[in-house]
Amino acid sequence: MKFDDVIGQEFAVKVLKHSIGSDAVSHAYLFAGLEGVGKTTTALAFAAALNCEHRAEDGDSCGECWSCRAITEARHPDVELIAPETEQTKIDQMREMRRRAMFPPIRSPWKVLVLERAETLNDDSASAILKILEEPPSYAVLLLLTRNMSLALSTIVSRCQVVRFRQSSADVLRAALQERFNIDEEKADFLSRYTEGRVGEAISLLEDEAFFARRDAILNLAQLAASAEKPLALRLAEEFRKSCAPSDKPKKKGKSAPAAGAEDDAEASAKSGRREIRQGLDSLVLWYRDLLSLALLGPDAPVINLDKREDLAKALPSVSRERTRSALASLTWAKRALAGNANPQLITEVVMMRILRG
C-alpha cells in the first residue's frame, strides 16, 4: 500500500508526506471525507511510509520490504485497523485500543492505530482514548477516520490534526480505473459518475459482482414504476428492498399471498444492508437524472446509464418532467434519511408513494 496507490487525494498525500519529510509527524490525525474517498487506503499508505525500511526520498514507501508487505497483507504487528463493532463504538473497544497503544512497537519504529468511522464514538468511548490523544507515547500515531466532521466529537477534533479528503473528479477517477483495472471506458465512465468520484466505492463496486445484477433489478423496478399507480407503492417498495438484498437468492416474481409477502419482507429487510439500499437509491437517482436530461435535451442527450439508453427512451413518454423532478427530490430526502439512520422499510415506502402516479 503506497501513496502512489491513492487516487485523487493529492492534497492529503502532500500533507502526510510533508509531515514525514520534515520530521513533524503528529501523534493524532483526523481524516475527514465522505465514505469511499480513500481514507483507509491513505491511512495504510501513511503507516507503510512511516515504517518502511527503504523509504524513497519523496516520502513514499518501497512496497517491497518486510514491513510494506506485512501491511499489505494485514499482518503487521505494529499497524492495526480497528472498525467499530456496532453502530456505536463501544467503550471496551476503545479501552483495548488504549491498552494496545501503550505497548511499544515490536518490529518497526512506529505503532500505528487506525480507527475507522470515528463519528460513532460517543462521550464514553471517546473519553477512553482522550488520554492517549493528550499524552501520546512517543512512538504512537493514531489515525481517526470520519465521514462527517460535524458528527465527530469536538473533544476529539481539537486534539487531532485534521486532514480533509475530497471527492476526485469523475475524469481523474475514470482514467485511473481504466489504467489500473483494465476495464473498458464505458464501465469506467459509469462507475466514476455513479460514485461521484469516490474512489474506494468505485473499486469496491468493481469487485462486487452482484452489484450490476442489483442495479438491473432496481432499474427494472423503475420501469415498472413508470406506469404503476399509488396502490402498488408498498409492493414496489418491498420489491425494491428484495432487489437490494445482498444474497443472490432468486427474487420472487409475480403475485404472492399477503402473508407470505410479509414474511419475505421481514427476511429481505434483515438481509438488505443499508449500503445496498443506498446503492439502490443512487441507481434510481441516476435513472431519473438521465430521464430529465433526455426530456430537456432530446434523444441525443448525454446519459450516465449508457447501457440503458433504450430502456430510458421507452420509459420517457410515461414519466412527466414534473414527476421526474419530484422523484429526484424524494430520493434526495431518502438518502439523507438513510444516512441519519432512519428505518429502510419506511424510507423505501415513502419514496415509492411519491414516485408513483396517483
52 contacts Zn ion (rule: CB under 5 A): yes
Site for Zn ion in 68-87 (CB under 5 A): 68
Quote the least distance from Cβ 45 to Zn ion, whole Å.
11
Distance (Å, whole) CA 55 – CA 130:
31
Nearest CB to Zn ion, comparing residues 40 and 61: 61
Of 160, 294, 314, 284, the C-alpha closest to 222 is: 284
Quote the least distance from Cβ 63 to Zn ion, whole Å.
6
Q: Identify the burial level of 184 via C-beta atoms within 10 angstroms of its C-beta, where 0-12 means exposed, 13-18 middle and 19 or more buried.
A: exposed
The backbone region for 196, taken as left when phi is positive above 0, alpha when psi lies in -120 to 50, beta otherwise, is left
Phi, psi of 281 (to 5 degrees): -65, -40
Quote the least distance from Cβ 147 to Zn ion, whole Å.
29
Alpha-carbon torsion, ordered 234, 235, 240, 242, to 10 deg: 120
176 contacts Zn ion (rule: CB under 5 A): no
Distance (Å, whole) CA 102 – CA 105:
9
Nearest CB to Zn ion, comparing residues 70 and 188: 70
Q: State the number of binding residues for Zn ion (CB under 5 A).
A: 5
Length of the chain: 358
Identified binder of Zn ion from the candidate list 15, 25, 56, 65, rule CB under 5 A: 65
Nearest CB to Zn ion, comparing residues 3 and 287: 3
Nearest CB to Zn ion, comparing residues 61 and 305: 61
Nearest CB to Zn ion, comparing residues 49 and 331: 49
Nearest CB to Zn ion, comparing residues 52 and 327: 52
Residues 6+ apart with CB under 8 A from 12: 6, 31, 42, 163, 164, 165
Identified binder of Zn ion from the candidate list 9, 19, 40, 61, rule CB under 5 A: 61
Nearest CB to Zn ion, comparing residues 1 and 312: 1
Which residues are registered as beta bridge partners of 80?
Answer: 113
- How far are the Cα atoms of 14, 18, 120, 167, 198 from residue 11, in angstroms, in the given order? 5, 11, 26, 11, 15
113 contacts Zn ion (rule: CB under 5 A): no
Quote the least distance from Cβ 79 to Zn ion, whole Å.
12
- Which grid cell is 44? 495504510
Which 8-state DSSP code applies to residue 120? Answer: G
Identified binder of Zn ion from the candidate list 15, 25, 56, 62, rule CB under 5 A: 62
56 contacts Zn ion (rule: CB under 5 A): no
Kindly indicate which of the ranges 21-29, 53-61, 102-110, 116-124 contains the residues binding Zn ion, using the contact rule CB under 5 A: 53-61
Quote the least distance from Cβ 2 to Zn ion, whole Å.
9
Q: Rule CB under 5 A: which residues touch Zn ion?
A: 52, 61-62, 65, 68
